[in-house]
Structure 1
């Protein structure tokens, strides 16, 4: 088990956090820029020293150990590949430093070249590779020494949208196949939910909420978390009361609002996404969002629309 209890202060920022991760678990650290995600990884890796607290893994206190003795794999956002080394040499670098026997080293490199689908590129230099191929080399290098703990800092952040989507599932399969305890930093909720067994949401150096992806998404703790996770129908106490709910903040999930029913609203904005259509509608003086898979050409901006609302699905939020 990974056990964290850490404090670290910089001018204008303070990280204060307690968190655990189980052996073999993939835990996503999700939060906006400046929330402390990368700082936390650097504290775990030993690249920063905490003001107070500890990093424990498998019952061993890593806090006093230098980075090279922690047995932690670290994948930086920019990959930090060695340009003068081939793909195979980059992957083998940590094994050479750890003085693995030559036969074991070559077998491990071969295994990772095959797993990462890099065999045709083994003799190439990093600058000859695409962004996605470089990402796979960096991941292979981080995994090569068989670290018990792996830290990934925005591993897909430097890639374009098409490559991110393609490699997201590759990374998911790889992490589960290796079975290594992993902390993944990301600001993208889709990446966090797909990669992780659990998600930890950070804000301004503090842990806001932690749980399974489904739990965190459907039951956000407060309005800030709900908004950060992409929810749109966040109701103030007055808006909640106008829709027949208790006068406190609520999240109204998409499933609670549907087209068709006995309520009458008006379409204020129509958004065509290709595979779906979004509508901002005004109902009882409250602006709400819903989506449909059909084009629904009759529902243009300004049109009246019949709606059904299920208040029982509303999620009460902390103020």
Structure 2
């Protein structure tokens, strides 16, 4: 198990995080830019020295160890491939540094070339590869030395949307096959939810909420978390009261609203998404969003059903 309690201060910012990650688990560090995600990864890798705290893995204290002795694999956002080396040589680099025997080194490189679907590109230089292929080379290099801990810093951030979607499931399969304990930094909740067993939300250097993706999304702790995760129906205490709920902040998930019922409103916006429509509706002075297979046009009256049992109370 990875256990850490680390603090690091910079002018105008202080990171203070306590976390544990089970062996073989993938934990996503999720949060906006400037929340401290990459700083935490660098502290774990040994690239930054903490002001205070500890870092233990499997009972061993890693805190005083330099980066090269932590047996940590690190995948940077820009991949940092060696331009003068071939794909195979890039993957083998850490194995050469670790003095693996030649036969074992060649077997491991061959294994990773096959797993990452890079065998046809083994003798190419990085500049001859697509962005997705470079990402797979960087991942293979990070995994080559069988690190006990793998750190991924925005691994898909440099790719366009099409490539990111294509590589998400590939990366998920690769992490599962290797079984390394993994910390993934991302600001994209879709990546975090698809890749991680658990997510840890960071805000301004502090942990806000930690849990399984389904749990965190369905029951965010507070209004900030719900908004960051993309929820639309965030009610103030006054809006909650107007809809017949207790007078405190609430989240209304999409399943809480449906067409037909006793609430009367007006459609303000109608968004066509192909298999569904999104409707922004004004009800009792409250602007609500719901989705349905079809719905009335903008300006038309609408009747809604609200299931109060689905409402999620939020901290302020």
Global fold match (TM > 0.5): yes
CA distance in 2, matches of 1:274, 1:308: 23
CA distance in 1, matches of 2:198, 2:175: 14
Kindly report which structure 2 residues correspond to 1:67-82, keeping only aligned pairs within 5 A, or say none: 67-82=67-82
The alignment partner of 2:74 has SS state of strand
After TM superposition, give the deviation of residue 261 of structure 1 in Å: 2.0
Instruction: Report what 2:311 is aligned to.
Output: 314
Deviations 1:37-84 (A, max 9, x none): 000000000000000001111101111000000000000000000000
CA distance in 1, matches of 2:126, 2:292: 45
* 2:287 equivalent to 1:287: yes
Kindly report which structure 2 residues correspond to 1:35-50, keeping only aligned pairs within 5 A, or say none: 35-50=35-50
Kindly report which structure 2 residues correspond to 1:168-207, keeping only aligned pairs within 5 A, or say none: 168-207=168-207
CA distance in 1, matches of 2:274, 2:150: 38
CA distance in 1, matches of 2:156, 2:275: 25
Instruction: Report what 1:21 is aligned to.
Output: 21
After TM superposition, give the deviation of residue 272 of structure 1 in Å: 1.9
The alignment partner of 2:23 has SS state of coil
CA distance in 1, matches of 2:31, 2:135: 22
The alignment partner of 1:138 has SS state of helix
The normalised TM-score by structure 2 is 0.99
The alignment partner of 2:152 has SS state of strand
- Alignment coverage as a number of residue pairs: 316
The alignment partner of 2:202 has SS state of strand
Deviations 1:282-312 (A, max 9, x none): 1111100011234x4xx11111111111011
Instruction: Report what 2:249 is aligned to.
Output: 249
Which has the higher mean CA deviation after the structures are superposed, 283-292 or 203-212? 283-292
Unpaired segments ≥5 residues, structure 1: none
The normalised TM-score by structure 1 is 0.98
The alignment partner of 1:47 has SS state of coil
> What's the C-alpha RMSD, in Å, of the aligned pairs?
0.7
Deviations 1:189-226 (A, max 9, x none): 01100000000000000000000000000010000000
CA distance in 2, matches of 1:257, 1:242: 15
